[in-house]
Every structure is written in structure tokens, then in C-alpha cells.
Amino acid sequence: MNPVQPRPCTILDVKKESLHEWTFRVASDAEVSHGQFMQLSIPKIGECPISVSAQGDGWLEFTIRNVGKVTNVIFDKTAGDTLFLRGPYGKGWPVEKFLNKHVVVITGGTGLAPVRSMLNEFMAHPDKVKSVHLISGFKNEEGIVFQQELQEWEKCFHTIYALDNDEKDGWRTGMVTAFVKEIPWDEFDGDYAVVVVGPPPMMKFTGLELMKHDVDPEKIWMSFERKMSCAVGKCGHCRIDEVYVCLDGPVFPYVIARDLVD
Amino acid sequence: MSYALNIQQANAVLDEIRKDYTVFAPKRFPKQGRYSDTDIIRYAEISRFEDIVWDTKSDYPAKEVLTPIQQAIFYFTEDEYRESKGPKKPYLVLARPCDIAAQHVQQKIYAGNGGYTDVYYERVRKLVRFAMMECNGGDDTCFCVSMGTNRTDDYSLALKFSSEGVKVQVTDDDFTGYFKECPKAKYTPSFVEENELKVTVPDLDNAEVRKALKTHPMWNEYNSRCISCGACTVACSTCTCFTTRDVIYGDNPEVGERRRVTSSCQIEGFDQMAGQKEMRSTAAARMRFKVLHKFHDYKARFGDSHMCVGCGRCMHRCPEFISIAATVNKMSRAVEEIKAGMAEG
């Protein structure tokens, strides 16, 4: 069985989350762990890695930003059209380590996509964790994704939603790092897990901010995004030091992530 | 069993072997070199004993037989990707010990890394037998002894060439039959025991030392010297990186192939994602990334050897005369400096 064989899948639905970020629901029986990714493929154009943002019975969702050759073509597709998929690949969130803990999730922009399915699982099964604290930042109002879910999460999680510079009713203004201090770390009694996803500078500075608040580096995980051609540890594009983001990541413990130098 | 063959006998044996194997060896391509009236020596299928270039190191490595510069991996239509077909006939590849060692490196990455075996590498690799070309000492860019790749026992035949013909040691029973009419001789291969060029690979086990080395000023030199052309990685015996590219056929734009094309961590954009900045945006950063892969990161992941086999081809091909050997020795000095600084506290 060729691990890079793309398979045709039908697009079931396209939802416009924001101007540049749309969610594509695709028919697939692939079994995906929270935080894993797949390679989306378009004949004549190429492939790109996209994290699975939700999954259900016979379907997967991918929340895609149209910034490249492949994603631009995907944005021309509608329900009933075909996408090619292969995967899932990589190591997702170590959910077993989050069970029965206070889970803190900090995201920047579409970094919310790779944690979305895990958040929905915690929403559906609140007994799995002690609490969920979610800090989600977006550049501006146009960049907000998963609007409906953000509202639902607000009801069952402790949430802080923020725009980098702009103001919005009920939202805060500032970078996500500014809100790390509002997490009641002392109340967790060391029984917590922290998940960080977003652009590389956001993750770097969030890591440093967490250290300032004496958060245990062993209890933090981050999800990386890198260029990939193969997603199976052969093409070399995503290698950093001795790790391959496609194989050993995209989710890394912070104690490994903080020392990686591209 | 060993034999001594003159050129006529060698051609007769080659004709027989070619019935069962596709034979690849370094071959001269006249006037295809990068300067006017120079040749290029690279791997290609050979049909005559005289085609084999044995007295000069090839410009390009044996890896091109197993991992060609480009190959079709899928043929696609609008609704299907069909896997390309690999060769059926076994390969006999004439290679020096360094090139054979290089395949052990490529195999670690292509077969097994992360639990995935690359179909395209493996389907060729399993067809390959090596005929080890005894190395006549290489040239002033070789440092196989420093890298421990001067010896190998991974061969079916050992060959010692001369202007009169070739001495052959057969170590694989599958090949005994081809030589039954040939005159026996005493021959056991010898290996290069010393190179003019010596490289000291630094001990980089200490994470703090590695961290300091990554930001050491020694890399800045490459911002002005390296032009990020990637010639070194194409000539490298072990570099595996590739990019996939879709190509459509001119007469039917709905049909085409997905190709795997050699890529290089030395060229601009290698790590650039759509809509984002490059991770390594300078020649210095790219050089640091390559050198540490060859002399630390690969071994840290796969264990037994460094990735570089000391073939020296990257130095031959570099248009800016950058020497990997000098770079590694410079890195060793930088590491000593860092360690001394750390000891002083």
C-alpha cells in the first residue's frame, strides 16, 4: 500500500467562515486523531498539508485559507466536486494526558482549526476534563472563524476572545499573550495541560509568557506547521534538527518545541 | 573465487550479465561539462566495458540510479491517481565504497523513517546488487577515511580495473556462473586507508553547545560566499530531499503526471509555506542547516553513522569553491571555542 496514494473524496459542503477561510466538509471514512493532518491533492496543481478541523460519521472538515496554488483552486470547488485526500499523518494532541485536568487552549487566528475537534469533544463530554480555558485571538474581525462554535464554547468554557488591535463588543483587544496572566494557574494545583497553536511568533512569545507565569514546560504542547511535499518523512522540507514535523509532530511537547531551530 | 579478465573477456562477461541485469556505471559524456570542452562523468546504463570510467571519480553520485533527478510517481486524470511502474529487471551498479555507504544512508531515510517505506525507492533498491569498484585513492577532495566509509562488504562483485582489463572477486553465488570460462587469479580487494584530506567531526552531543554553534558567527561567511544554487546537494551522494510537481501533457490538459523532482535545502524558498516568510532566509542559515544535518542531526535520529560519506563531490561542484571539509574543520574549532567558553563559565 503506497502511503502517498491520493484517494478521491466528494465535497459535501462549503462554509465561508471568513473572507479568506472556508471550511470544506468532505466525505471520508478516515480515522483521524485530534490534531492530525491530511494531504489535500488537486491533479495538475499539487498538494498541501491541512489539519483536520472536525470529524464525524463519514465526513471530515478542513478549514482552509486561500493563500497558495492548491488552496486557491480548492476555493473554486463546491459541493459535489472532488478533492483528493491522503493520510491522516503525524502525531496529534495527546488527549489521554489532558483527561481529568484543567485544559488551557491558546490559539492565534486559524490556529483554532487543529484544536476545534478536541474542543468540541470536551464540550460534548464535559466530564472528561476539569475545566477548559480558551484564549482565542484573531488579527481583526474579518479573520474570525468558527463564529457559531465560539458562541457555544463561551457557554461551557472559560473564554477570552480578542482582536489584536480592533475593538468588538464582548471581545478584548490585544495579543493573546496579554491574557495569559488571567488564567487562574494557582487554582489548578498543578493539574493542568496547555495547548498552544498559531503562527510561529505567536507560539514563541506565548511560550515565553507561560514561562513568566511559572507554567510547567512539561505540561505544554504546541502544533507546528511547515512546508511538506510527502508528509511521510522522505522529502525533507519539514525537517527541523533531527525531527520531522510530519512524523514526530505536528504536535510537539514544549520542552522539544522550544529548542528546535529551523 | 577471483578472476583476471582482459578487455575482450570482460566484454563477453558483461554481455552475459546484461541479459539478466541492467548495468549502471560511471560513464563519460563528452563536452557536457560546465566549462567549454570539458566532459561530465555521471551514472548511466553501460553496454561496453570501455564505457566504464574507473580512473576518475564521477562528477555525480551513484544515487542517481536509485533516486533520479526526476521521476513520475503518479499518472493522473481528473478522477484518478495511478501509481507509476518501476523497473522489473535487476540492476547491477558499479560503485566505489563511498557510494555504496551512501545507499545505506538513503535507505534509512526512504525505507522505514517514521514507519513509512517509500515505494519508489524500495522498488528499485530491492533490485540492486553492487559491484564494488576498488577505489584507486580518490582525489584531493576525498575524506572517506575520516567518515568511516572507505570500506564496505556490501557487494556481489569486487572489481580492480587497469588498462589491461579487470580483476574480479565474486562474493555472490548468483554471479559465479558468468565467470566459469574466465581465468582464475589471486585477488582480494583493498580499500583506501588514508586520504590526503582529513576531517575532524566535532562532538555535538551537548545540546547547549549545539545551540551556541547555531548562532556562532562562523556561518556569516556563507552569506557572501554561498550563492544558494544547490549544486552541492545535487552532487551529494546522500541528499534525499525532493519536491513534487504536477505536469500536464500538452495535447490533453486533463491528463498528466505527478513528478518527484530533486530539491535542495540550499535554495531559496525550500521551507517557505504559502503566504508566509521563509524559515531560513539567508545562505548562512541554509548552510548551517545542511552541515548540521550531515554531521549531527542525521546521526542523532538514525544512530550508526554520519550522513556525509566524504565523497567530496560537493566541493568539486561548488561554483564558489566552498569546501565542506574546511567548513567542518572550522566548525570543530568553533565547538572547541564554545566548550572552552562554557568551561570558563
> The dihedral of CA B40, B42, B46, B51: what is its sign?
positive
pTM of the entire predicted model? 0.96
User: Residue A255 contacts by C-beta under 8 Å, 6 or more apart in sequence?
Assistant: A217, A218
pLDDT digits (tens, 9 = 90+) for B231-285: 999 999 999 999 999 999 888 888 999 999 999 999 999 999 988 889 999 999 9
Per-residue pLDDT band for B60 (boundaries 50, 70, 90) equals very high
Q: Exposed e or buried b for every residue in A185-203, given b needs 16+ CB within 10 A?
A: beebeeebbbbbbbebebb
A1 lies in a domain? Answer: no
What is the spatial distance between Cα A89 and Cα A51, in angstroms, rounded to a whole number?
9
Say if residue A11 is in the same domain as residue A120: no
A192 in the same domain as A128: yes
A143 in contact with B at a CB cutoff of 8 Å?
Answer: no
In a domain, residue A59? The reply is yes
SS3 category, A196: strand
| pLDDT given at position B137 | 87
Same domain? A127 vs A240: yes
Please state the φ and ψ torsions of residue A139, each to the nearest 5 degrees: -65, -50
- Which residues 6+ apart lie within 8 Å of A23 measured at CB? A14, A15, A17, A53, A54, A61, A62, A63, A64, A145
Q: Is residue B345 predicted with pLDDT exceeding 80?
A: no
Backbone angles phi, psi at A241, to 5 degrees: 50, -130
Tell whether A208 is covered by a domain: yes
**Per residue in B140-160, pLDDT tens?**
999 999 999 999 999 999 999
- Residue B101 has what pLDDT? 98
Is 90 exceeded by the pLDDT of residue B94? Answer: yes
Q: Which of these, B43, B36, B44, B38, lies nearest to B60 by C-alpha position?
A: B43
Q: Does A201 touch chain B (CB under 8 A)?
A: no
Residues A143 and A14 in one domain: no
* Contact between chains at B243 and A247 (C-beta distance less than 8 A): no
Say whether both A185 and A251 belong to one domain: yes
**Domain with A154 in it:** 95-257
CB atoms within 10 A of CB B108: 19
Spatial distance between the Cα atoms of A140 and A56, rounded to a whole number of angstroms: 30
Last residue of a domain, one of A89, A123, A143: A89
Q: What is the CATH number of the domain that holds A83?
A: 2.40.30.10
* Co-location of A206 and A190 in the same domain: yes
Q: What integer pLDDT is reported at residue A90 of this predicted model?
A: 98
Residue B132 pLDDT level (bands cut at 50, 70, 90): very high
Q: Is the dihedral of CA B69, B122, B57, B13 positive or negative?
A: negative
Task: Please indicate, yes or no, whether residues A235 and A193 belong to a single structural domain of this protein.
Answer: yes
Q: Cα separation of B23 and B65, whole Å?
A: 10
B58-71 burial: b if 16+ Cβ within 10 Å, else e: bbbbbbbbbbeeeb
Determine contact: A54 vs chain B, CB below 8 A. Answer: no
Give the SS3 label for residue B333.
helix
Residue A2 located in a structural domain = no
Helix (H, G, I), strand (E, B) or coil at B286: helix
Whether residues A104 and A223 share a domain: the answer is yes
CB proximity list for A57: less than 8 A, separation 6 or greater: none
Let me know whether A108 and A220 are in one domain: yes
C-alpha cell at B293: 544535518
Residues of A with Cβ-Cβ distance to B271 under 8 angstroms: 226-227, 237, 262
Residue A110 within any structural domain of the chain:
yes
A contacts of B258 (beta carbons < 8 Å): 43
Query: Considering A89, A108, A139, which residue would you say is the last residue of a domain?
Result: A89
Average pLDDT value for residue range B8-35: 97
Same domain as A85, residue A100? no
Is A217 among the domain residues?
yes
Strand ranges (E), A66-112: 82-89, 102-108
Residue B126: phi, psi to the nearest 5?
Answer: -70, -10
Chain B nearest-CA residue for A87? B116
The pair phi, psi for residue A117, each rounded to 5°, is -70, -35
Q: What is the pLDDT of residue B344?
A: 87
DSSP structural state of residue B179: G
Q: Which residue ranges of chain A lie beneath pLDDT 50?
A: none
CB contact under 8 A, A226 and B253: no
Give the three-state DSSP class for A97: helix
Interface list for B 297-336 with A (CB within 8 A): 297-298, 300-301
- Residue B276 has a pLDDT of 87
Residues forming a β-bridge with B246: B258
> Structural domain tally of chain A?
2
Strand order in the sheet with B70-77: B80-83, B70-77, B252-262, B242-249
The predicted pLDDT at position A179 comes to 98
DSSP characters over B96-143: -HHHHHHHHHHHHHHBTGGG-B-HHHHHHHTTEEEEEE------TT--
What interface predicted TM-score (ipTM) does this complex get?
Answer: 0.95
Residues A66 and A131 in one domain: no
3-class SS letters over B198-220: CCCCCCCCCHHHHHHHHCCHHHH
Tell me, what CATH number does A150's domain have?
A: 3.40.50.80
Give the mean pLDDT of chain B.
96
Of A48, A70, A89, which one is at a domain's C-terminal end?
A89
What mean pLDDT comes out for the span B57-74? 97
- Using an 8 Å CB-CB cutoff, list chain B residues near A247: 113-116
Is A175 found in the same domain as A83?
A: no
